[in-house]
Chain A
């Protein structure tokens, strides 16, 4: 079993007619994901390499039975598209778009938190990959194989790096989840840790965090109380100066809060072993699984 997505995922892609949207939707389709429809307002009735395009999510759900959405539209249209997907009854929304204003994000996440049976992954994330089953997003599947390590991360390329280090040690993945680098992500580390805990395929969880906010500290506390599976941590940004946004909108040390050291300490105090490098993370995962 994987978490969030699998062979039954029926994906509708918002922004499928754009250059990037087409490219990644087709990549996901070739991987074996059921990419069954797309949404681009005004282009309803067209198709993208055989995938039908609708004007609204409501039409796409009614006509094709979509149960998951991938949001690939530019940031200024993304918030609206996410809300539309939720309003149409879609249960899983994966938002790749980067640069959604923080206040818009706050309203979307608050609204979705109050809507039953809907989960948002992202925004500003690489998506979700369940090796051997389905790929929703832009994670290059070549670096990952099926296995028992669940990965959850705030970053994209760093996750690929960790995935490759695991693969070099013959470890595969149950699911790789990018929760995104924004200040108010739709799903937190805690949400994903809980899913991995309940997933029989997952035997060890790798959690890759970075500076900014206190999501890692909260996840550390949650892990010590509610996660029985071993968790291996990594934190990026020890050298980040105070008050500077390091690429991701959410990666900023404010005053004395949100530092990498505080996060690593919180994880270790709660029984999570923290690797100092991506290589060490993979080595710890190997040793934990051997025990």
Chain B
């Protein structure tokens, strides 16, 4: 789960990491009210997870209420690389002495958290890594040992942090590591971490990604919403407990097991089609889950045809067939379905489908055959939105 800037800053502030005073707002009036408590000049920042939003007009300074209204009006609702801005962060303007960079990533390959620190903040860190790799200090922390003071000193000296700030930076890194572990983060990034003219550190931006599997123990974080990144189909699927990812093609896809579904998408693409979604119906898919899944897939108006690819292990093909028959009764789909059932109780599943004799439903024996068939059918069928 990717947090918006202001949500990430709330997590950091709760760990005693200094951030500028700020408040989110979703209307111009709320923005005016927020600015009233924060004072002018203040910054209006679009809340979308896109790097370089400043260059795209998503960050403006407001000297007074009139300017604030103009900027909030312009930024709220703005489209930034396909994402709509639903909220702005109204934040006190900060005086910047120097800009640092720091982050902690969950390095799955090294099986340890990786901390990065650099005095070249405020720009794209991947660019810095390319142009001047020596400017970034990094080290892995043993997950059983945790962050120690020497880690902070090593990073600060290696990055060339000004002498008077070595200790404050070390202390801040310890707090950041604490946040990373106890909030179950996969990434925390502060860019820039600024030094004010008074030589104080402050997180001017925050990028935080949390582990979805750990949200059950962080109810406050689980309640964070990011409307700009929410897709209607994905939201609908989430409500129904389905694992669904929206893609931009026109062939709806359902399978059981993440690997098999990914493989199905690839086969459809190889056959010349474009998948509209990833949907893993999971193990033991019962009729209700199938009905719910069909409704989600067909709520995408671009869909021209649907492919069901089931390999029954724990999942029983006769259960899937029953669910599909029920879904056809309830939803009465107007686009063709190609179904491939293999594995546990596949013969019974195919018998049920043959008996039901559903209009516009085609059974294929193999995964490859099914992928080719659905691509042909999609090409011959207008999309729902085109009707």
Interface residues of A (CB under 8 A from B): 75-76, 99-104, 106-107, 109-111, 113-114, 126, 138-140, 142-143, 153-161, 164, 181, 183-184, 208, 210-211, 213-215, 218, 234, 236-241, 244-251, 255, 260, 276-279
- Known pairs A157-B255, A239-B275 / 16 extra A-B pairs, C-beta < 8 Å: A100-B213, A101-B214, A102-B106, A103-B211, A106-B106, A106-B112, A143-B343, A157-B311, A159-B259, A215-B109, A238-B269, A239-B268, A246-B261, A247-B280, A248-B258, A250-B108
B275 partner residues in chain A, CB cutoff 8 A = 239
Count A-B contacts at CB 8 Å: 167
A-B contact pairs, 24 of them (CB 8 A): A102-B108, A103-B143, A106-B111, A110-B143, A155-B260, A158-B262, A160-B313, A161-B311, A164-B343, A208-B259, A211-B262, A213-B108, A234-B263, A236-B262, A236-B266, A240-B262, A244-B278, A246-B258, A246-B262, A247-B261, A277-B263, A277-B266, A277-B270, A277-B367
Q: Do A101 and B144 form a contact, CB below 8 Å, given A155-B260, A277-B367? A: no
Question: A138-B314, A139-B313, A239-B269 known; A155 and B245 CB under 8 Å?
Answer: no
> Which residues between 294 and 346 of chain B lie within 8 Å of chain A, taking CB atoms?
311-315, 342-344
* Residues B182-233 near A (CB distance < 8 A): 184, 186, 211-214, 216-217
Whether the Cβ atoms of A140 and B263 lie closer than 8 Å is: no
Give the interface of B toward A (CB within 8 A).
106, 108-109, 111-112, 126, 142-144, 181, 184, 186, 211-214, 216-217, 243, 245, 247, 255-263, 265-270, 275, 278, 280, 283, 311-315, 342-344, 366-368
Say whether A107 contacts B143, CB under 8 Å: yes
Determine if B213 and A276 form an interchain contact, defined as CB atoms under 8 angstroms apart.
no
- Distance in angstroms from A275 CB to nearest chain B CB is 11
Look across to chain B and name the residue whose beta carbon is closest to the beta carbon of A142.
B344
Inter-subunit contact A246/B313 (CB<8 Å): no
What are the residues of chain B within 8 A of A75 when measuring CB–CB?
A: 213
Within 8 Å by CB of B213, from A99, A157, A236, A251, lies A99
Chain B proximity of A269: nearest CB distance (Å): 19
Residues of chain A with a CB closer than 8 A to B259's CB: 153-159, 181, 208, 210, 236, 247-248
In the complex, what distance in Å separates the CA atom of A161 from the CA atom of B278? 18
Q: Are B143 and A106 in contact (CB under 8 A)?
A: yes
A277 and B106 form a contact (CB under 8 A): no
- A160-B343, A277-B270, A278-B367 are known contacts. Are A251 and B262 too (CB-CB below 8 A)? yes
Residues in A whose Cβ lies below 8 Å from that of B213: 75, 99-102, 249
Min distance, Cβ A246 to any Cβ of chain B, angstroms = 6
